[in-house]
Amino acid sequence: MPYDPPPDLAGLSLAGIAEAVAARRLPPVETWTPASVGESRMRIAADGSWWHEGRPIARPAMIRAFAALLMRDPAGRHWLVTPQQKLAIAVDDAAFVAVDCVHRDGSLAFRLNTDEIVLADAEHRLENRGSTAAPALYLAVRSGCEARLDRSTWLQLAEIALAQGDGSTVASGGARFSLLPA
């Protein structure tokens, strides 16, 4: 079955973005309690690349399939979860990378490196864990997982913040987020 990526964010209205988000059906990993627990021997590098036993996973379709099964527990450990198995996966920084951002009708939409689209709001918060010299913004995605904004997406967000005011905050989905380190 061929994969049709969602359209470019820049060409979508907020309604189109919301439709793309709603069309993504993800498995209910939080509700599964598999009896078998182990190690996946997989790793997600800080640049968003996926590795298995020291070799890169090159097929984007496999990465998208695995990403749909990701969750992070309250202790911060990442897992690939199916109804039968729960396998630990090493994550160097964040499970996802935000690679694009647009502002439409009061909402910020982010495209992830897995082609997933996330709208920032009270549930999908932006958080700055960096410093003034080295900004590090993270977006809550789902199931405890986060996306780190890559440099170009951070710059897009900074331009949006400047257009909205003094550049220190952005608003999206009825919530306001500081872009400055705490």
Give the pLDDT band of residue 3 (cuts 50, 70, 90): low
Output helix, strand, coil percentages for the chain, rounded to the nearest 5: 20, 35, 40
Q: Are 69 and 21 in contact (CB under 8 A)?
A: no
Q: Mean pLDDT of all residues in the chain?
A: 90
Dist. CA 145–CA 45, nearest whole Å? 14
**pLDDT score for 2:** 53
pLDDT one-digit tens code per residue, 63-113? 999 999 999 999 999 999 999 999 999 999 999 999 999 998 899 999 999
DSSP states of 13-70: -HHHHHHHHHH-----GGG---SEEEEEEEEE-TTS-EEETTEE---HHHHHHHHTTE
Q: How many CB atoms lie within 10 A of CB 35?
A: 8
Give the pLDDT band of residue 150 (cuts 50, 70, 90): very high
Q: Residue 8: is its pLDDT beyond 80?
A: no
Q: Residue 19: is its pLDDT beyond 80?
A: no
How far is residue 32 from each of residues 67, 84, 97, 123, 150, measured CA to CA in Å? Answer: 16, 8, 26, 21, 32
pTM: predicted TM-score of the whole model, two decimal places: 0.88
Q: Are 117 and 100 in contact (CB under 8 A)?
A: no
> pLDDT over 70 for what percent of the chain?
87
